[in-house]
Amino acid sequence: MNELIQTVLIYALPVIFAITLHEAAHGYAAKYFGDTTAFSQGRLSLNPLVHIDPIGTILIPVVLYFATGGSFLFGYAKPVPVNFSRLKNPKRDMAWVALAGPAANFAMAFAWMLFGAVLQAADIDEAYFNSMAKAGLLTNLVMMAFNLFPVPPLDGGRILVSLLPYKLAYKFAQIEPYGFFIVMGLVVLHVLQFWMLPVMVLTSSFLSILLTPFSFLLGL
């Protein structure tokens, strides 16, 4: 129980930020491209309570933590409603709306990495803050990589539907009702890791390159 409490205290803020900004980014992008559905429902908010799903964000992760000893965790936020038919150019703009969420996670991953560098430069050897910086980076890398997996209704699937020719896009979009079960099956069979790990490693390496000038300025 103590281990769970420590884990929650370290991951709570990074996870809340990751979920909230990811979903809000979808809504803001949709509004920019012409769909005000999320705006009209009050979902363009940085208030975590607007995006947290009691079952998907809290209950399922906690149950899985105890059921698997922390070896397998999964959760989800309340999806931001998007009416793609109301976008200015539905097929093209769908990709930008979908990409907005992972892009927000990419930005947050960089922010947490920079936070860790600032702690190091300031010689702040506080275990809690250092652990939170690592948790923030990991949380956003995982969330970005997972959502970019090219199966609808995940963001990667939406992006692929947007990029495919119309006939192929229509056929591929038909698997969306089964997409959740497909992804969960791949997770259980440990197949999804062959997508997740390379994407996370490549993204982390790219973030390290972006951090180089800041590290120089911080004297690291």
What's the chain's Rg over C-alpha atoms? 18
Query: In the predicted model, is pLDDT for residue 73 greater than 80?
Result: no
Residue (of 159, 161, 135) closest to 73 by Cα position: 135
Give the C-alpha separation, 169 to 135, whole Å: 36
Give the C-alpha separation, 45 to 152, whole Å: 25
pLDDT in tens, 80-112: 888 988 999 999 999 999 999 999 999 999 999
Residue 202: CB atoms within 10 A of its CB come to 11
The average pLDDT across 198-203 equals 96
Domain boundaries, the chain: 2-218
Is the pLDDT higher at 64 or at 163?
Answer: 163
Q: Which of 3, 23, 126, 176 is catalytic?
A: 23
pLDDT in tens, 127-161: 889 999 999 999 899 889 989 999 998 999 999 99
Give the C-alpha separation, 114 to 216, whole Å: 12
- Cα 162 to its chain centre, rounded Å, is 20
Give the C-alpha separation, 78 to 66, whole Å: 23
Say if pTM beats, i.e. exceeds, 0.85: yes
The pair of structure tokens assigned to 54 is 């009691």
- Whether 23 is a known active-site residue: answer yes
Q: Quick check: 220 and 122 in contact, CB under 8 A?
A: no
